[in-house]
């Protein structure tokens, strides 16, 4: 009898723990899922393109006063941290994204920083309760809803993906996904 009561108490605790963890982690909304899918697409292409660019081209820039390859990537990196901060996820302790463009220039460091920044902003979006999407926050662009900030993450990544594609093509580097499609089309004919 004592064993049965102990078993029942343990089972009840497990049920309560399971429901508490389910309550504490809100399921992702359709908007969360769409935004995260769009970010994942941009992230994948930005990283593929960054991998494809030769190390020696990371300092290349199309003209005076225009960001270099590494500076564009580090601008995206810094912005991911700033945008995550706007929706409630702090910039990691000791990190100064304002210095990224001028201090992180080597390909391996740039790739690592990009990956970590996308992990950070994706985590911030996953942690944002859908019930807070309409809350407004102050940004350098004026007041915006948290929903608008999430969409800005996508727009910003896509904007600089396009810029990076142009930089790569100007340096004779086709986007890897385009090269794969072209190779497949030639092989199929």
Q: What are the tens digits of pLDDT across the range 140-187? A: 999 999 999 999 999 999 999 999 999 999 999 999 998 788 888 888
Query: pLDDT band at residue 44, thresholds of 50, 70 and 90?
Result: very high
- More reliable by pLDDT, 3 or 36: 36
Under CATH, what is the fold of the domain 28-176? 1.20.120
Residues 6+ apart with CB under 8 A from 174: 168, 182
Residue 22, pLDDT > 60, answer no
Q: What is the pTM of this model?
A: 0.83
Distances 119 to 82, 115, 123 between C-alpha atoms, Å: 13, 6, 6
Looking at residue 26, its pLDDT comes to 62
Q: For residue 51, name the pLDDT band (cuts at 50, 70, 90).
A: very high
**With helix as H, strand as E and coil as C, how does 43-75 read?**
HHHHHHHHHHCCHHHCCCCCCCCCCCHHHHHHH
């Amino acid at each position: 009898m004592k064993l049965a009561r102990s078993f029942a108490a343990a089972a009840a605790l497990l049920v309560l723990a399971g429901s508490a963890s389910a309550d504490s982690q809100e399921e992702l909304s359709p908007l969360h899922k769409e935004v995260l899918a769009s970010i994942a697409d941009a992230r994948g292409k930005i990283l593929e393109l960054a991998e494809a660019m030769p190390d020696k081209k990371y300092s290349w820039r199309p003209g005076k006063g225009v960001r270099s390859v590494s500076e564009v990537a580090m601008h995206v990196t810094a912005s991911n941290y700033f945008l995550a901060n706007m929706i409630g996820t702090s910039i990691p302790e000791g990190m100064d994204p304002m210095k990224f463009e001028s201090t992180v220039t080597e390909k391996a460091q740039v790739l690592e920083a990009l990956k970590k920044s996308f992990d950070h902003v994706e985590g911030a979006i996953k942690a944002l309760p859908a019930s807070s999407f309409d809350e407004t926050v102050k940004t350098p662009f004026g007041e915006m809803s948290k929903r608008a900030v999430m969409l800005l993450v996508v727009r910003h990544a896509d904007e600089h993906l396009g810029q990076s594609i142009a930089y790569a093509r100007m340096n004779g580097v086709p986007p890897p996904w385009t090269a794969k499609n072209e190779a497949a089309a030639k092989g199929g004919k």
